[in-house]
Amino acid sequence: MASSLKDVARYAGVSIKTVSNVVNGYVHVSAVTRAKVQQAIAALNYRPNTAARHLRQGRSGVIALALPELRAPYFAELAGFVVEAADERSLKVLIEQTDGARDRELEITEGVPGHLIDGLILSPLALTEDDLEQRTDRLPMILLGEQITDGAADRVVVDNVAAAEEAVAHLVSLGRRRIAAIGAQDAAPGATARLRLRGYRQALRRAGIAYDPSLVIPVEQFHRHDGALAMQGLLDLAQPPDAVFCFNDLLGLGALRTLLSHGLSVPGDVAVVGFDDIEESQYSTPTLTTVAPDKEEIARTAIDLLIKRFSGDHDALPRSVNPTYRLICRESTLGG
Amino acid sequence: MASSLKDVARYAGVSIKTVSNVVNGYVHVSAVTRAKVQQAIAALNYRPNTAARHLRQGRSGVIALALPELRAPYFAELAGFVVEAADERSLKVLIEQTDGARDRELEITEGVPGHLIDGLILSPLALTEDDLEQRTDRLPMILLGEQITDGAADRVVVDNVAAAEEAVAHLVSLGRRRIAAIGAQDAAPGATARLRLRGYRQALRRAGIAYDPSLVIPVEQFHRHDGALAMQGLLDLAQPPDAVFCFNDLLGLGALRTLLSHGLSVPGDVAVVGFDDIEESQYSTPTLTTVAPDKEEIARTAIDLLIKRFSGDHDALPRSVNPTYRLICRESTLGG
DNA sequence: CGTTCGGTTTACAACGATGTACAAGCTGCT
DNA sequence: AGCAGCTTGTACATCGTTGTAAACCGAACG
């Protein structure tokens, strides 16, 4: 059985409160008493009970991170950074997977965990602005990676339009003219896809290249499989593209796989750009050119915003932070 | 402010305990009272306070999953399954990253989270048997992926020796005779590496192939980078290998990268086998032959074992479960 | 010598939920 | 009518912790 303040108090021959004072570093405790108590704590291997503390103080020291799925490397890497950043602030992270399903996301914003957590970092796929407006829960929440226009919560999100434009501009600068896009999504769960598509079109316009809808391939999910399939479709065209901008790295890696298995050369025949800079993209053959958001900065910023909410400015206006990103050019566009 | 049983009780005009009874589905509550209470609950948007429940019942409904790092795809995928399996049992999962550091692992087995969690699933890298014997914490714990001989805790771990042997036997069956191994580790944190090495040697012995220590390459970590480096070393040998057994997929993918960038053909010149079957291995070029442990089974088993510990047989003898695995043969050994 | 002062320690009441014990109301039996 | 036995509801203590208020003590002061 775990020991409590009561046990320590009895063992040390002092009151419960005194032990509590020692544990919490209260100043006015005599050296003698402090020593006695500390010895008792060591002897009984006492550890404060988080549940009781939580009940008393209304703070659990736990936050939730809700993301579509851990098996997607981008989210896994991001989650790793979040856990790390949280750890530095003595916070624990509880993981929820939404599969990008709207009802799961909704459920989570409405505080499923029942007072279990102090705050929430949510990376939504399907949630709409309206869903958020109707939110009744007062739990501090940070949104990741969705450009839901000024809403009810803090947001940390890269400038998807600018980043996408930069990626496509890179392809243009290499002399590519028939540039495809893989990853379009019409349905509600597609804010990110729409923004990256906008960046793509903007880059084309600036380069004076006509927009060709047949080069924009929609996908169901942002997985390797969808990328491979989409690329297959592009190769079947009468006039295949000479470059592809994929809305994330997994799509890009899937596309790569299809290209190579058709004996095509990358970037010789087709150049490929991704988005996310997952670790895998540094080791694929060829390595993948990609837009790299600073994931560590994203994680750290999200945690900091949450902590700000905890302490005081509970009702400040929602903040929006754009983390830095950069285009990393690798073999899939520059060649080996 | 969140509402409590007290508020609901006042609103419904009944006692606190009656509300509690309704919430907990106690049978002997009249239909009228139940309706009144339920209406009050809805009106006040009442949600039970987890902290209070936890304090009272000694159960939080939260477990911790401690693993080296989420950015390693194997652990990310595994974590995904664990969260999923836990969700089905109404458990929440809190993630801890150890970086495979012994002191972090030790800290965690000693119950850092302070009564915050009901149980622990730990995937140790550095922990030794002795460390575990000295464990004082009574928290139910399940060990993943380490073959620490019958210790103080339940274990879920594939038969590394048999699996490794099967992988190498596959290479032998393809006519390979100069088979290297990448991933040896001498230091304490290397139980897994040692077992896979044993399987490797066993397969060689069975095939009547002499053991050549120069073909066994040690690594610091099981990352792509280490695999790439190790492969480089092998290629620099006077007599390079015609096959490589990598102790995990990341090492294998790193090795692949080195081979291809040297213009070598896989499996033409060198065949490669990995271990873990991470998703990436289905999409690499060439796709990677690998030992695939059933991750979903591992996760489910771990959760089930934990739950068994919660309910009663707190002091049953430690169980050890060997999840199933299978060798999946892909292009890196069979060719395209 | 009584008073005040400050540091040190303690008793008590919360936080929100639930198990125990028991009271009140009802039924049905002798 | 009296009593057992059941249903339905309540009061109270409790889980481990901490904030509040107050008690205690020796020292310093007038």
pLDDT tens digits, residue range A6-58?
Answer: 999 999 999 999 999 999 988 899 999 999 999 999 999 999 999 999 999 98
Q: Is A318 an 8 Å CB contact of chain B? A: no
Interface of B with A in 231-290 (CB under 8 A): 253-254, 256-257, 260-261, 279-280, 282-285
pLDDT of B147 above 70: no
Q: Which of A202, A166, A193, A189 is nearest to A101 (CA)?
A: A189
Inter-residue contact A191 to A202 (CB < 8 Å)? no
**Which residues have CB under 8 Å from B119's CB, separation 6+?**
B63, B64, B139, B140, B141, B142, B306, B309, B310
Judging contacts by C-beta atoms under 8 Å, the chain B residues touching residue A230 are none
Instruction: Indicate the range of A59-68, A148-157, A204-213 predicted with least confidence.
Output: A148-157
What pLDDT was estimated at residue B188?
Answer: 63
pLDDT of B316 above 80: no
Confidence of residue A131 (pLDDT cuts 50, 70, 90): confident
Mean per-residue pLDDT, A112-136: 83
Of A52, A253, A279, the CB nearest to B283: A253
Torsion angle of C-alpha atoms B119, B123, B128, B130, degrees rounded to 10? 10
pLDDT for A150 equals 63
Do B318 and B153 form a contact (C-beta atoms < 8 A)?
A: yes
For B130, counting Cβ atoms within 10 Å of its Cβ (0-12 exposed, 13-18 middle, 19+ buried), the class is exposed
Beta pairing class for B141-144 and B119-122: parallel
Percent residues over pLDDT 70 in chain A: 95
CB neighbourhood size of B264 (10 A): 15
Stretch B34-59: mean pLDDT, rounded?
92
Residue B48, chain A, CB below 8 Å: the answer is yes
Torsion of CA A259, A265, A270, A272, to 10 degrees: 70
Q: Which residue has the higher pLDDT, A158 or A285?
A: A158
Rounded mean pLDDT of chain B? 92
Which pLDDT score is estimated for B165?
Answer: 98
Gap from B117 CA to chain A (nearest CA, Å) = 9
Name the closest nucleotide to A49, judged by C1' and CA.
D16
Q: Which residues contact A182 (CB under 8 A, 6 or more apart)?
A: A217, A219, A226, A227, A230, A231, A234, A244, A245, A246, A247, A251, A252, A255
Percent above pLDDT 90 for chain B:
76
Q: Which of B204-213, B242-251, B314-323 is predicted least confidently?
A: B314-323
Return the minimum-mean-pLDDT range out of A50-54, A114-118, A327-331, B214-218: A114-118
User: What confidence score (pLDDT) does residue A264 get?
Assistant: 97
Q: What pLDDT is attached to residue B191?
A: 84
Give the pLDDT band (50/70/90) at residue A129.
confident
Residue B88, SS3 per DSSP: helix
pLDDT at A96 over 80: yes
| A146-150, A159-163, B120-124, B203-207: least confidently modelled range | A146-150
Q: Which residues in chain B are contacts of A84 at CB distance < 8 A? A: 97
Note the pLDDT of residue A148. 63
Cβ A15 to strand D below 7 Å: no
Find, in chain B, the residue whose alpha carbon is nearest to that of A58.
Answer: B51
The DSSP element (H or E) to which A209 belongs, if any, is: none
Average pLDDT, stretch A240-260? Answer: 97
Residue A314 pLDDT? 64
Look at residue B111 and tell me whether its pLDDT is greater than 80.
no
Predicted confidence (pLDDT) at residue A80 exceeds the cutoff of 80: yes
Whether residue A313 has pLDDT greater than 70: no
pLDDT at residue number A128:
80
Q: What does the block give as tokens for B130?
A: 């002795």
B33 CA – D4 C1', rounded, Å: 27
B273 vs A253, B152, B192, CA distance in Å? 21, 34, 16
Residue A319 DSSP class: P
Q: Do B51 and A115 touch (CB under 8 A)?
A: yes
Residues in chain B with CB shorter than 8 Å from the CB of A116 are 50-51, 62, 92
Quote the pLDDT of residue B3.
Answer: 87
Domains of chain A: 5-48 (1.10.260.40), 60-158+295-323 (3.40.50.2300), 160-293+327-334 (3.40.50.2300)
Q: What is the pLDDT of residue B99?
A: 93
Lowest mean pLDDT among A50-54, A246-250, B26-30, B256-260: B26-30
Å separating the CA of residue A33 from the C1' of nucleotide D27: 20
Supply the pLDDT for residue A312.
67
pLDDT at position B1: 65
Identify the residue with better confidence: A288 or B3.
A288
In this structure, chain B runs to a length of 336
Please give the average per-residue pLDDT across B239-267, as a whole number. 97
User: Which two structure tokens, joined as six digits, stand for A28?
Assistant: 């006015």
d(CA A277, CA B279): 17
> Tell me: the pLDDT tens digits for B198-233?
999 999 999 999 999 999 999 999 999 999 999 999
Are the beta carbons of B96 and B108 closer than 8 angstroms? yes
Strand D close to A115 by CB, under 7 A = no
pLDDT greater than 80 at residue B77: yes
Closest residue in A to B54 (Cα) is A51
